[in-house]
Amino acid sequence: MADAHLPLLGEKFPSLSVDTTQGKLPLPDAFAGHWWVLFSHPRDFTPVCTSEFHSFAAHQAEFDALDTKLIGLSVDDVASHQSWADWIEKNLDMPIKFPIIGDDGTIAQTLGMVHPQKGNAAVRAVFVMDATGTIRTILWYPPELGRNISEVVRIVRALQLGDGHQVATPADWPQNQLIGDKVIVFPTPEQAAADGVPGAEKFAPWFNYKSVK
């Protein structure tokens, strides 16, 4: 696998047939026309992973509002995933409505999710795909660090806003210290050399921003 090509930003998510808690799914075709998030975890029935799955499920309505599907993965079989999901619903009162991929390690290797120094478990990876199946964001976390699920929601919101308005979002958007929930607009070279984008607020001709609703 050392010579395998790992998925990169801007590429199409690789075609995979996966077994899940909701049956066999073809990726990325199963989510065609929708944004979707694939996230991996090291093992079922472990505390950090359980806290993350609880949080992903708690944010389900926010992902639904963004027409964004969720799918999990670890190097465990489907029966283990289902038993764990049932435990989370019964003991933590949180139903897991998204599918979880059962993997013997092949898919995790294909997607570059295995940290050689951490055994054969998948690390905490996040892949965000747009409605065309193009990879828009990749995040990597070590096994000992739980993810901030609100940040995953923010990423999807920001990317969708950027695509819809041809803008960029600043640091910590929508609570940026300089411009709050406003967004950055890019001047043409001619505009940057002059007064910036007409009608935009600006700190400099090359730093323009505006509100979008």
From the candidates 27, 49, 101, 126, give the one annotated as an active-site residue. 49
Cβ(142)–Cβ(124) below 8 Å: yes
Give catalytic status of residue 49 as yes or no.
yes
Strands (E), 3-104: 16-20, 23-27, 35-40, 68-74, 100-102
Instruction: Render 131-181 in DSSP notation, one character per residue.
Output: TTSBEEEEEEE-TTS---HHHHHHHHHHHHHHHHHT-B--TTTTSBTTTBT
Q: Six-digit token pair at 41?
A: 């975890």
Contacts of 59 (CB under 8 A, 6+ apart): 149, 150, 152, 153
Nearest-angstrom CA–CA distance, 152 and 126:
8
Q: Is 125 exposed, middle or buried (0-12, 13-18, 19+ CB in 10 A)?
A: buried
Active site residues: 49
